[in-house]
Amino acid sequence: MITSKGKWLALLAGVAAGLASLPAPAQSTDLDEIVVTARKRDESFRDVPITVSVFTEQLIQSAGIQKPGDFIAMVPNMTLVETQNAGNAFVVVRGISQARNSEPSVAVLVDGVLETNPAEFNQELFDVSQIEVLKGPQGALYGRNAIGGAIIITTKPPSDELSGSTRIGFGNGPSERAQLALSGPLNDSKTLKFRASVSFYNTDGYLNNAYLHEKADPARDYAARLRLLWEPNDMFSADWRASASLLQTRAFYFVIPRDDESNPFSTFSTPPNANNISTPITVNNEGVDNRNLYNTSVKIDVKPGYGTITSISAYDKTKEIATGDAYDFRPRADSIFQALIGTDLNQSQFLNVESYSQELRFTSPSNDKFNWLAGAYFVHTERFISTGNMVDTGAGVFPVYQTPRLTGNNPSATFLADSQNNNAWAVFGDATFELTSQLELDTAIRYDSDSRRNTTDTPTAFLPDPSATTGEVRKHTFSETQPKGTLRYKPFEDLTLYGGWSRGFRSGGFNQTGVGAVAQSSAIAGVHDLFNAEVADTYEIGAKEQFLDRRVNVGLSLFSTRSHNGYFFVFLAANSTQNLGNLDANYKGVELEVSAKATDWLDLYANFGYTDSNITHMEDPSVIGNQAPLVTKDTFHAGFQYHRPVMDNVNGILRVDYQYLGRTWWDPYNVTSRDPVSLVDLRTGLDAQKWSLTAWSKNLTNKIYNAEFSTGGFLWKAQPRTYGLDYTYRF
């Protein structure tokens, strides 16, 4: 029997073989070298002793990368779980995952500036020149929360000549997209340059709400970015950047299946099933999810001749209000709470985060024998979060911000609020020694300290447990030293072998006030008012090779990670809160990446990742030996891109991508797992020097599956087939 995966692989191989048999001009060996900044200095991709996936500007354009999920789908042993609301998108890399209201699993840097809040991550990518994905703990250079790796996003820099591009697109939904970028000098000497870009996206949505007879997921997104680069001489540069993103969409359109739809209590007897796709979305409240992101930063480089002094000052603000139906996400008349207490519930969650950060570092001049850098980092964060249920009177759902709703329609039934005032600092250093012409030793170390002060803002009448008090202040400091050591050996110019050990650290935090007592009374183990920091130790060996005049690239890596106090997620129905607990786990795996320029007109690529996880400790010992939460057993991505002249200065392009997501587990108890998922994307069109026209489809075969399962039987539906037509003009 040929599996679905096997049929698609056979089809891709057949098409690629047919295209490769077409006549083509002589092959060129003049291929550009890929430069990365993984170690905070420019170096060749093939030389850096880290497992890195690189997406160049050309690849971003040809693959149609528009959001983080697009490039993550092309990285082995890496997935993105999107659920609940825009600010909740979990990066899972080599088994290291994240959860609601948690610290991220990877550090994300945009133009060298660290994102301080994971709710910022999942947004439109536009006017981007390169994306680097580093895997394995990168805390020695990028600090706390780089426990699984780092994502380095570089936007297009200001240009010396006036230039720009515009893009318009239309698709099903229906949907519209428009982007514009303009760049050039602001003075005759070209020492002051600018780049401005804007993006607009709108869709009526793709997922059906069977009760409201409309789409559940409409979205409208406005984003803009402005950069000013001042380089008065070779010794000084100042790079100022400001950006904003305003997203309007919806949240909480979960599905919780029942065996007997007419019996609300059958929810509790229905076995959890991550593969149930037959139950439709039936929320009776549209709700809202409005997320506003604002960022500004200044990066200054001073080069006095004996190195480079770099200062990065940044401000970030995230504000998100999400409202919608509450458990069990059904029309009022059919809901579980209507049957239990005679009234349905809806919900509101509010997040407001501001941060100020400063990094200062010194980098030595480039030297063949010895390179080093040292620096310090500080970030101050103020965060407020509230969550609660309101009585659903049928008048819709109303947002609740910093105080409960006590009068009028939809009065608050539950309400929890906490504010945090956090200060984190770090010192770090990295040194690279060329021991011989072929052997290099890279050592790095960083110490991070994160002091958190949490104040209970919940009014007394809404406190979930008698032990909790309004105005209660909880304090805790999380700290860790993160060392890293790597050996690189280059027996030949085009072969790099490397291996080493690194430690990653991710801060812990506070669950909302009083949930520890609620969890204990609900017989749920491992959930307390405080969840601990995670520390992960990783051993890794790898190899990178280029051959046939750099037309073929191969990368192989093997890793073993021991994690202490990793996260897991628990929803407490008793007070409708989302909470984190801790567990220990081991992760072992392998990754293989291959790309080939078969002819001047045909590119082939494939990668494979395998992760085996094993829970080694938790307060409930019954889970020991299970797979860790959110782990996908194996990933596979393969495809080809064929580009060939069809007329003077115009190429025809065909690109097909196949993605395989292996079996995925969602919670420590492994109560259910999602079956493997196969997805196909297609892009075809015309490309000229000044313009391109592209027809595209994501999830071409319209695979229906669930993007997430969470404790309590919650299912979040994945996006079905989307398609459209894009036109780009460059000037």
pLDDT at 583 over 60: yes
Let me know: does 99 contact 509? Beta carbons within 8 Å: no
- C-alpha 567/C-alpha 583 separation (Å) is 6
Burial class (CB within 10 angstroms; exposed 0-12, middle 13-18, buried 19+) of 649? exposed
Question: What's the sign of the alpha-carbon dihedral 396, 400, 404, 405?
Answer: negative
Query: Which residue, among 719, 696, 649, 552, has the nearest Cα to 203 in the 3D structure?
Result: 719
Helix (H), strand (E), coil (C) string for 321-354: EEEEECCCCCCHHHCHHHHHHCCEEEEEEEEEEE
- C-alpha 272/C-alpha 200 separation (Å) is 39
pLDDT value for 11: 42
Longest dimension (CA), the chain: 79
Let me know: does 699 contact 679? Beta carbons within 8 Å: yes
pLDDT at 21 over 70: no
pTM: 0.92
Mean model confidence pLDDT for the chain: 92
- C-alpha 225/C-alpha 240 separation (Å) is 11
| Residue 219: partners with Cβ closer than 8 Å, 6 or more residues away | 201, 202, 203, 205, 247, 248, 249
DSSP-derived pairing of the beta strands 78-82 and 89-93:
antiparallel
pLDDT value for 570: 86
- C-alpha 356/C-alpha 434 separation (Å) is 37
> In angstroms, what is the C-alpha Rg of the chain?
26
pLDDT value for 239: 97
What is 102-138 written as a DSSP string?
---SEEEEETTEE---GGGSSS---SEEEEEEEES--
Tokens of 574: 């008793």
- C-alpha 290/C-alpha 246 separation (Å) is 7
Let me know: does 669 contact 626? Beta carbons within 8 Å: yes
pLDDT value for 24: 33
Tell me the CA distances in angstroms from 691 to 26, 170, 179, 246, 518, one per residue in order: 26, 17, 14, 29, 60
Residues 343-377: tens digit of each pLDDT: 999 999 999 999 999 999 999 998 778 999 999 99
Q: How far apart are the first and last CA of the chain?
A: 53
Burial class (CB within 10 angstroms; exposed 0-12, middle 13-18, buried 19+) of 586? middle
Specify the residue for token string 């039934």. 413
Tell me the CA distances in angstroms from 545 to 44, 46, 75, 641, 724, one per residue in order: 13, 7, 18, 22, 38
- Give the DSSP letter of residue 40: S
* pLDDT band at residue 572 under the 50/70/90 scheme: confident
Q: What are phi and psi of 528, to 5 degrees?
A: -135, 175
* pLDDT band at residue 22 under the 50/70/90 scheme: very low
Specify the residue for token string 């200054």. 300
Let me know: does 388 contact 402? Beta carbons within 8 Å: no
Average pLDDT score over residue span 218-228: 98
**Mapping DSSP to helix (H, G, I), strand (E, B) and coil, where does residue 486 land?**
strand
Question: What's the sign of the alpha-carbon dihedral 243, 245, 246, 252?
Answer: negative
Task: State CA 709 to chain mean position distance.
Answer: 18
Query: Which residue, among 139, 140, 150, 155, has the nearest Cα to 38 in the 3D structure?
Result: 150
Average pLDDT score over residue span 599-606: 95
DSSP H or E run through 714: strand 714-717
Residues 494-545: tens digit of each pLDDT: 999 999 999 999 999 998 777 888 888 888 888 898 999 999 999 999 999 9
pLDDT at 18 over 70: no
Residues 241-296: tens digit of each pLDDT: 999 999 999 999 999 999 998 899 998 889 999 999 999 999 999 999 999 999 99
Let me know: does 62 contact 655? Beta carbons within 8 Å: yes
Residue 329 backbone class (left: φ over 0; alpha: ψ -120 to 50; beta: rest): left
Average pLDDT score over residue span 136-145: 92
Q: In 3-state terms, the chain is what percent helix, strand and coil (to 5)?
A: 10, 55, 35
Residues constituting the chain:
731
- C-alpha 143/C-alpha 576 separation (Å) is 33
Tell me the CA distances in angstroms from 705 to 77, 661, 679, 718, one per residue in order: 20, 11, 10, 6
Average pLDDT score over residue span 677-703: 97
List the beta bridge partners of residue 43. 36
Per-residue burial over 523-560, b if 16 or more Cβ lie within 10 Å, else e, is: ebebbbbebbbbbbebebebebebeeeebbbebbbbbe
Residues 381-391: tens digit of each pLDDT: 999 999 999 99
Tokens of 663: 């079996």
Residues 370-420: tens digit of each pLDDT: 999 999 999 999 999 999 999 998 888 999 999 999 988 889 999 999 999
Whether the bond between 174 and the residue before it is cis, its omega within 30 degrees of 0, is: yes
Average pLDDT score over residue span 204-231: 97
DSSP H or E run through 678: strand 677-688
Let me know: does 122 contact 68? Beta carbons within 8 Å: yes
**Mapping DSSP to helix (H, G, I), strand (E, B) and coil, where does residue 70 land?**
helix
**Mapping DSSP to helix (H, G, I), strand (E, B) and coil, where does residue 55 land?**
strand
- C-alpha 515/C-alpha 523 separation (Å) is 12
What is 364-399 written as a DSSP string?
PPP-SSEEEEEEEEEEEEEEEEEEEEEEE-SS----
- C-alpha 449/C-alpha 161 separation (Å) is 45
pLDDT value for 14: 46
- C-alpha 336/C-alpha 269 separation (Å) is 13
Task: State CA 603 to chain mean position distance.
Answer: 27
pLDDT value for 32: 62
Domains of the chain with bracketed CATH: 4-26+42-730 (2.40.170.20)
pLDDT value for 4: 42
pLDDT value for 75: 97
Average pLDDT score over residue span 172-181: 97
- Can you point out the beta strands (E) in 116-218? 128-135, 149-155, 163-171, 175-185, 192-203, 208-209, 214-215
